Structure 1
């Protein structure tokens, strides 16, 4: 039974993506080459590693065992590369970060920018997910660092405070709700919404909140950024939910008004979570320390 690091990395990508096609793309391999590698791995072990269906693939029990060892081996290989990088004239490494939408759009760009300037040989792979998904994936070793809403149960993960913000409703000046100071999310569901792309974590979160009170979220248009949401709101296309930091910045140049959401989930204390701080690769520990250095509280 012989698996090289490319095999193990490919298998990890396939399981995490839930698809051989998407896993091959993540591993930068042609689909035919990826499929051949999977077949060879299954022939080598003598049993299927993946259960295939029209909805994608999931690991068999043998596949889950391989995945567990693959993650451990790949993590050790990454640490070896980082340690030997010192003798090659400098460090080199990659940090895998899973983040919810709020952190990804409002806080991480600036924090990661300063970190990457200080560490030019480090790369950061960022993936957007829902907070509860992130906790499970970090526990499984899918990523090094997670940024989640503080309301999520992190279980046995080690956590550190990151940032604080709140979601607010933004409406055009002159809108029916522009005179309100506070409102519940349920009350806003009578109006058309401008939202973020359906695949985004925050849009899925808001849809779930609407469904929980038996109401649909009436989305008229979906965009790629909170800034674009504010511009559509300014033009009376609908109302939107954005971070307070975005609303304050946008209100300086746009005709919008922010209304406080009274729902407890609107206040977002963002948290860093890791499986084992001491067990993190060197640069991942440095990134955690960097993210913790400055905290921004809502006022």
Structure 2
């Protein structure tokens, strides 16, 4: 039993006229008659009684009529729903992003995406770098934004930009008057940083410890916002990805370039290798890539 056969039956059953059904379906009479015949053969009996003057339904045809109405309505609704998803008239997508990107770079992208696709729902998971990788690998989200992993292990990585660390100092600190700082100068002050296993913390330790020794950690926090507020209150200094510069300054701290060494790492878009993204996820991916590759 096919959709085409059901549509043919319904058109005849509702109009009780082959001629009217042909006009409604834009079919020739032989094509319509063949569709009805094939449907009857597939079901095992007659559905219509046709004479030279009239058409009527058999008892089995009467039973099929309400079922055909409901089946075709469900089919049409399913078609329309999928069409809306494919054309992004509606849909949903989940993305996981490390906090430095989720709180600074992502909102601008989402504003442009929402302007283009107002009926597509986006769920954002603001989680640490390692959780981003895990959520993508476990298919809990379609897209992730994180530092480039040491091993891809089933992931595809699309580089967006290199994020370089900057110094964060209190506005009333003598360091705030400088145009740039060295790590040695920054680390002479009490240091405020994110707690492990934050990728920011681990990257700092991997890059700095060999040359400058252990980080002089005075305060630790899970959130960059808290780190920024602590610095602004004069509790110490910090170093964060440059993407967070505006956020740190809005919290009342000053950001300066850092030298010796310059610590940076690629940030990019992640999804499962070989996995076909949904239309909504592909559109969001395209928006993210376009924005950062145009910078």
Q: Structure 1 pair 245/274, CA: closer, same or farther in 2 (3 Å)?
A: closer
Q: What CA distance in whole angstroms lies between the structure 2 residues aligned with 1:128 and 1:82?
A: 34
Aligned to 1:97: 95
Q: Structure 1 pair 251/137, CA: closer, same or farther in 2 (3 Å)?
A: closer
Q: Structure 1 pair 163/107, CA: closer, same or farther in 2 (3 Å)?
A: farther
Q: Any gaps of 5 or more consecutive residues in structure 1? A: 1-79
Instruction: Tell me the alpha carbon deviations over residues 66-111 of structure 1, each in whole angstroms, 9 at most, x when there is no partner.
Output: xxxxxxxxxxxxxx98972436997432212121222212211110
State the secondary structure of the residue aligned to 2:83: helix
Instruction: Tell me the alpha carbon deviations over residues 100-131 of structure 1, each in whole angstroms, 9 at most, x when there is no partner.
Output: 22221221111012112322222222223343
- Is the 8 Å Cα contact of residues 102 and 202 (structure 1) preserved in structure 2? no
Q: What CA distance in whole angstroms lies between the structure 2 residues aligned with 1:171 and 1:165?
A: 19
Q: 1:288 aligns with which of 281, 285, 294?
A: 285
Q: What CA distance in whole angstroms lies between the structure 2 residues aligned with 1:205 and 1:296?
A: 27
Q: Any gaps of 5 or more consecutive residues in structure 2? A: 1-76
Q: Report which stretch shifted further, 272-281 or 86-95.
A: 86-95
- Is 1:125 paired with 2:123? yes
Q: What CA distance in whole angstroms lies between the structure 2 residues aligned with 1:94 and 1:102?
A: 23
- Is 1:218 paired with 2:220? no
Q: What CA distance in whole angstroms lies between the structure 2 residues aligned with 1:246 and 1:174?
A: 20
Q: What CA distance in whole angstroms lies between the structure 2 residues aligned with 1:285 and 1:115?
A: 11
Aligned to 2:141: 143
Aligned to 2:269: 272
Q: What CA distance in whole angstroms lies between the structure 1 residues aligned with 2:204 and 2:88?
A: 46
Aligned to 1:23: none
Q: What CA distance in whole angstroms lies between the structure 2 residues aligned with 1:273 and 1:113?
A: 20
Instruction: Tell me the alpha carbon deviations over residues 269-295 of structure 1, each in whole angstroms, 9 at most, x when there is no partner.
Output: 211111146611111111111111122
Q: What CA distance in whole angstroms lies between the structure 1 residues aligned with 2:155 and 2:278?
A: 16
Question: Greater Rg, structure 1 or structure 2?
Answer: 2
Aligned to 2:180: 181
- Is the 8 Å Cα contact of residues 99 and 127 (structure 1) preserved in structure 2? yes
Once the two structures are superposed, the pairs formed by residues 234-273 of structure 1 within 5 Å of their partners are: 234-247=232-245, 254=252, 256-260=254-258, 262-263=260-261, 266-273=263-270
Q: In angstroms, what is the RMSD of aligned CA positions?
A: 4.1
- Is 1:86 paired with 2:57? no
Deviation at 1:224, TM superposition (A): 4.6
Q: Structure 1 pair 201/96, CA: closer, same or farther in 2 (3 Å)?
A: farther
Q: TM (normalized to structure 1)?
A: 0.55
State the secondary structure of the residue aligned to 2:115: helix
Instruction: Tell me the alpha carbon deviations over residues 227-257 of structure 1, each in whole angstroms, 9 at most, x when there is no partner.
Output: x644542432211223324436765995625
